[in-house]
Amino acid sequence: MIVPGGFAPDFMRRSAEVIKFANDMVNAGNLIAAICHGGWLLCSTEVYKGRKATCFMAIKDDIKNAGAEYVDAECVVDGNLITARKPDDLPAFCTAILKKLKNSHEDTKSQRKT
């Protein structure tokens, strides 16, 4: 699940269906990625508890209150959680997502061989 930035996440988190979907993705251990204000949606899940993350500076307190250790870096990868601060960080954010997806795909292929 990749959550975009901007103010869309503020509207997304007002929907019970979107919150359920996000929680289902978190509980399933799937890739969760958010950039900029995308972290707002994730504040309505348990994904930040005990994890490192970054976001747009205006919502830093929100993700900290949701249980994250805030890190001021262009992209933070903590297990299946990938976060970035702003559009300038898109190259690092996209690279981290693609790397995680590739590794996941390779893990799945090797599991099939055994």
**Active site residue ranges:** 36
Query: Residue 31 half-sphere exposure, CB side, CA atoms within 13 Å?
Result: 18
Name the residue with tokens 């292929």: 109
The secondary element (H helix, E strand) that includes residue 64 is: helix 60-65
Give CA angle at 40 (87, 81), nearest 5°.
Answer: 75
Task: Of 43, 42, 34, give the one whose Cα is nearest residue 4.
Answer: 34
